[in-house]
């Protein structure tokens, strides 16, 4: 299997439980070489986010250019953007490349802190979703972006059509915010819907699951896997990482990213 090259555009999490830090841990687990373009420095721990310091948009652009003009990338994963100016800078940078993009629509932190302003959401809908081979929203993010809370099969299909109109090639609807004994993620890709299910684990240690899942999928695509295969492998990895969480911190703790070691 080829190594694969990944460029992650996302924010830094000082607790090491999400964001750039988790993207690097996940990429290393899968044997993928990861580069980074940091969009914001956050002050946070397992109890929540207390401050966000955005990086200047021109520095974000310069990081992207430095990565792509030298080592290059087989896939780009976008996470936290922070604000409209940074989102626009990222969209501008992507205009000059046709590298596939996995877009994790980070709108809120696990503790509920806002991580993208209204201008940034507008850039997502108008410019970045159409660049994505896959978008990975959770249920609240799906509602924010489409106006539809995907609580039923009918609503999920309607939300998929909205994402299609926004230009995305595929969507993975994450079901972690749902109810019931099973967590149900649904992939819409190539006109088909594929469901991935796992028993819901009773644990507070799920910080960074969205970042981990999107990056794990991106790693699979960078290594030449098909979309369904990449999602299936990532889904299994995340469930194992939740199960082997180190139980650190007083709040929503990190996952066990070394589960493949």
DSSP notation for 70-132: TT--SEEEE---BSHHHHHHHHHHHTT----EEE----B-TT--B-B-HHHHHHIIIIIGGGE
Q: Which two tokens stand for residue 4?
A: 């694969």
Buried b (16+ CB within 10 A) or exposed e, 23-49: bbbbbbbbebebbbbbbbbbebbbeeb
Burial status of residue 102 (CB atoms within 10 A of its CB: 0-12, 13-18, 19 or more): buried
Q: Which is nearest to 99 in space by CA: 140, 141, 71, 59? A: 71
> Annotated active-site positions, please?
174, 206, 208-211
Question: In angstroms, what CA-CA distances link 100 with 88, 191, 194?
Answer: 18, 18, 21
CB 195 within 8 A of CB 185: yes
């Amino acid at each position: 299997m080829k190594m694969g090259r990944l460029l992650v555009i996302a924010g830094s999490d000082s607790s090491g439980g999400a964001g750039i830090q988790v993207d690097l841990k996940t990429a290393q687990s899968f044997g993928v070489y990861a580069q980074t373009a940091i969009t914001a420095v956050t002050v946070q721990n397992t109890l929540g986010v207390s401050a966000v310091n955005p990086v200047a948009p021109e520095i974000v652009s310069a990081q992207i250019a430095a990565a792509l003009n030298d080592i290059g990338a087989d896939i780009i994963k976008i996470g936290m953007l922070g604000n409209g100016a940074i989102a626009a800078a990222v969209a501008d940078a992507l205009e000059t490349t046709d590298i596939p993009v996995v877009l994790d629509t980070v709108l809120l932190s696990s503790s509920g802190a806002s991580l993208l302003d209204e201008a940034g959401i507008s850039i997502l809908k108008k410019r970045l979703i159409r660049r994505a081979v896959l978008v990975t929203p959770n249920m609240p993010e799906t509602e924010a972006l489409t106006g539809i809370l995907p609580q039923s099969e009918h609503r999920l299909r309607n939300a998929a059509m909205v994402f299609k109109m926004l230009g995305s090639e595929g969507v993975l609807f994450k079901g972690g915010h749902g109810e019931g004994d099973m967590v149900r993620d649904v992939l819409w890709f190539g006109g088909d819907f594929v469901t991935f299910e796992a028993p819901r684990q009773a644990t507070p240690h799920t910080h960074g699951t969205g970042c981990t899942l999107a990056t794990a999928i991106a790693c699979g695509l960078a290594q030449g896997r098909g979309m369904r295969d990449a999602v299936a492998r990532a889904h299994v990895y995340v469930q194992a990482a939740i199960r082997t969480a180190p139980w650190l911190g007083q709040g929503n703790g990190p996952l066990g990213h070394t589960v493949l070691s």
